[in-house]
Amino acid sequence: MAADALIELRGVNKHYGKLHVLQDIDLTVGRGEVVVIIGPSGSGKSTLCRAINRLETIESGTIRLDGVPLPEEGRALAELRAEVGMVFQSFNLFAHKTVLANVMLAPVKVRRKKKEEAAQRARELLDRVGLAAHAEKYPAQLSGGQQQRVAIARALAMEPKALLFDEPTSALDPEMINEVLEVMRQLARDGMTMVVVTHEMGFARSAANRVVFMADGRIVEDRTPEEFFTAPRSERAKDFLSKILKH
Amino acid sequence: MNVLLDNLSLYGKGLLGTVELTVYASLLALVLGFAMAAFRVAPVGSLRIFGTVWVTVLRNTPLTLLFFAVLLGLPRFGLVLPFQLFAVLALGCYTSAFICEVVRSGINTVPAGQGEAARSLGMTFPQTLGLVVLPQAFRSVIPPIGSTLIALAKNSAIAGSFSVVELLGVYKPLNERGYGIVWSFVWIAVGYLLVTLTISALFHALEQRYGVVR
């Protein structure tokens, strides 16, 4: 797998003031791999996810995407970000634009695609996430689950090499979680490289190639879901699992 | 009442002067104000510093002093322009500092996630600002920009003291012609009201059209 590494983190460190949120993180995500990051809140998993496309800066270490180190700022960074889609906990759809315009905007402005072409592709993607009928609505007119599916379509419109999910279902009502997870499962089956920060253990079990368990800014375990959920090695992981799997 | 009808062309010229000052200085203030606001939130440190210095200096200088500096100072460095243009420069730059801060507070009303989403899609800073953040910020800054431009219209009276034809300056020739001071000023005030109420109406219309839907 290391031969075809798409995302590579080596010795990554970051502090928030005195809090050492990322401590010597080493993580490799292979092409086509689905890696689920779980852990208690404050463990640094969201920060790790956001560091991969440099929404969070890091203090030391290297992050490589497809062999290229993340640039500092400016156009080179923007070009690299275009290759990595991101889906946020709070959806972050552009509130002043329709669903269709949300999905089209970056392909037209960043990829310089023709409008008709981008619109057609956007409609295909909206169809894929089951929202073709809502293309002309504004984000505020959609439910949370629908908004998140639009956000996934918007990220896919850039034809990214990898997708990052930062707690994509944590802000959703329970009955809407599955419609989003189903879209994500489909993406995983289609071979998309995904890094998913989530509390959905069912998704981790069924869709992940690897589960990364983080606590206190460190990666504590990095194993297949089957191994991790049936026989966690560390006390931290056992403790965490016992708390969340009880009910 | 006679004072207006007898001196209609004098009042007309004054009003026109004030309108010209207001329109040109407003355009300058809006362009510079939006640019400075962009500078102040830019990822480039030197731009942020430039924007901060611009706002700090201009917002804290008394406008009359700024007029002196521009109208008497710049010619010393060989820059000689018509007084009206100098006045537009002084008024426009001064007001741009206030516009900048209004726009910046508008930018701060847009959730950080909007900018993050734009950046994560590969947009550059100018694209993020221009396509995603400012269009949403614009909705909430319409009313305070209106107020700032109304202040500009009234501040333009200072230009009268520097030989620029504008509305307030009309009182001088009227006084020399022996008209009563009260009615001279009443009609001047009405003239300013015409300008400021027009600005109010314009921004009210903008708010109806683009304002935040609640």
> What count of residues does chain A have?
247
A230 CB-near residues (< 8 Å, 6+ apart): none
Enter the DSSP assignment of B43.
S
Kindly state the average pLDDT of the residues B139-160. Answer: 94
pTM, two decimals, is: 0.86
On whether the CB atoms of residues B70 and B89 are closer than 8 A, the answer is yes
Contact B117 A86 (CB under 8 A): yes
Q: Which residues of B touch A (CB under 8 A)?
A: 43, 111, 113-114, 116-124, 127, 131-132, 135-136, 139
Contacts 24+ apart (CB under 8 A), A117-123: A118/A157, A121/A157, A122/A153, A122/A157
Q: Does A95 touch chain B (CB under 8 A)?
A: yes
- How many angstroms separate the CA atoms of A195 and A30, rounded? 10
Size of the A and B interface in Cβ pairs below 8 Å = 68
What would you measure as the largest C-alpha separation in chain B, in angstroms?
Answer: 70
Q: Which pair of tokens denotes residue A200? A: 């959905």
The answer for residues whose C-beta is within 8 angstroms of residue B146's C-beta and 6 or more apart is: B199, B200, B202, B203, B204, B206
> What is the structure's pLDDT at A243?
86
ipTM exceeds 0.85, yes or no? yes
Confidence of residue B65 (pLDDT cuts 50, 70, 90): very high
With contact defined as beta carbons under 8 Å apart, do A50 and A12 qualify?
A: no
pLDDT class for A8, splitting at 50, 70, 90? very high
Q: Which band of pLDDT confidence, cut at 50, 70 and 90, is reported for residue A159?
A: very high
CB contacts of A98 in chain B (<8 Å) are none
Residue in the block written with tokens 């221009």: B130
Nearest CB neighbour to B121, from listed A73, A74, A158: A158
Residues 6+ apart with CB under 8 A from A244: A199, A201
Interchain proximity B121–A93, CB inside 8 Å: no
The mean pLDDT of A186-209, rounded to a whole number, is 93
Rounded to an integer, the average pLDDT of B138-162 is 94
Tell me whether A171 touches chain B (CB under 8 Å): no
The per-residue pLDDT of chain B, averaged, comes to 93
- CATH class of the domain at B16-164: mainly alpha
Q: Which residues of A91-127 are buried (b: 16+ CB within 10 A; e: fewer)?
A: bbbbbbbbbbbbbbbbbbbbeebeeeebbebbbebbe
A1 in contact with B, Cβ within 8 Å: no
Does the CB of A78 have a partner CB in chain B at under 8 Å?
A: yes
Q: Verify whether the Cβ–Cβ distance A105 to B121 is below 8 Å.
A: yes
Q: Which pLDDT score, from 0 to 100, does residue A117 have? A: 95
Q: What is the mean pLDDT of residues B130-135?
A: 95
Q: What is the pLDDT of residues A29-63, one digit of tens each?
A: 999 999 999 999 889 999 999 999 999 999 999 99
CA dihedral A222→A224→A230→A232, nearest 10 degrees, is -10
The pLDDT tens digits of the residues spanning A62-113 come to 999 998 999 887 888 999 999 999 999 999 999 999 999 999 999 999 999 9
d(CA A115, CA A109): 10
Structure tokens at B77: 């460095």
Tens of pLDDT, residue by residue over B81-131, are 899 999 999 999 999 999 999 999 999 999 999 999 999 999 999 999 999
A82 vs B43, B114, B121: nearest CB = B121
Residue A157 has pLDDT above 70, yes or no: yes
The yes-or-no verdict on residue A1 having pLDDT over 50 is no
**pLDDT per position as a tens digit, B169-195:** 988 888 888 888 898 899 999 999 999
Residue A110 touches chain B, beta carbons under 8 Å: yes
Domain ranges within chain B, ordered by starting residue: 16-164
